[in-house]
Structure 1
Amino acid sequence: MKKIVLTVAIVLGGLSTYATSGFAMNPSPQFELVAQEEYKEIKAESLPQAVKDALAKDYPTATLKKAYVNEKQELEYKLEITVGEEELTVYADKDGNWIEKQ
């Protein structure tokens, strides 16, 4: 009887080593790739009048620091502005409509 119990214990102990995972249980960190859009700096005078008007209307006290256009010429504009002490980056299309970006 002792031999049967001992044999069963040895067999179960041997099988349990095969049941363990060969991989670490710690999940690897996941990275999110974000496509970065390419912008080319332009002069403020090159901005369409609709974008200038929208900036004057919605940010009357803003100072335009830099202006950029999308490299793919999709007529999307990136504007770096200063409103009081706060520096903002806003995006607009060629018609002066604001675009929400993350």
Structure 2
Amino acid sequence: MKKLGLTLMAAAGMFLFTQNAQAQVEDPEEMEQIEGVEEVQETKDDYKEVDVLALPQAIKDAVMTDMNGAVAEEAWVKEKDGKKVYKLSLNVDGEKKKAYIDSEGNWIEKEDK
């Protein structure tokens, strides 16, 4: 009886393992397409992602002061003419907005970026 129980448990374990292994197989062609999109996007605007918590204090203060109730969810940075320009994804009362700001906390209009 013990042998029958162990055999059934082993068979069930092998079945579950093979199902899990099949679910994790990825299509290499699909992965190349996704990677290609990310590379194009990265070179298109030259912004590199940064941690929101690592933003300069002047930017944090500007968001709190000028965008009442806004929360920075994502941030990117690029260097332009020797100055750092930050692109922020802000959540303003449940609505997502993009904003551009320099490292000193000065907002940048879209055409100036």
TM bracket, shorter-chain basis: 0.5 to 0.7
Report the secondary structure of 2:104's partner residue. Answer: coil
Q: What is the TM-score normalised by the length of structure 1?
A: 0.59
Specify the SS of the correspondent of 2:110. Answer: coil
Name which one, 1 or 2, has greater alpha-carbon Rg.
1
- 2:69 is aligned to 61
- Picking from 73, 78, 97, the partner of 1:88 is 97
Query: How far apart in 2 are the matches of 1:88 and 1:51?
Result: 16
Shift of 1:79: 0.4
Q: How many residues align?
A: 68
Which residue of 2 is the match for residue 39 of structure 1? 47
2:88 pairs, out of 73, 79, 84, with 79
Structure having the larger proportion of residues in helix? 2
C-alpha contact 2:79 2:85 (8 A) present in aligned 1: no
Aligned sequence identity (%): 43
Q: TM-score, normalised by structure 2?
A: 0.54
Asked if the contact 2:78–2:84 (Cα under 8 Å) also holds between the matched residues in 1, the reply is yes
Unaligned runs of 5+ in 1: 1-35
Secondary structure, counterpart of 1:75 in structure 2:
strand
Unaligned ranges ≥5, structure 2:
1-43
Structure number with greater CO (CA < 8 Å, separation at least 6) is: 1
CA shift, 1:71, in A, is: 5.4
CA RMSD across the alignment: 2.1
> Contact 2:76/2:87 (CA < 8 Å) preserved in 1?
yes
Report the Cα offset of residue 63 of structure 1.
Answer: 1.6
In 2, are the aligned partners of 1:40 and 1:71 still within 8 Å (CA)? no
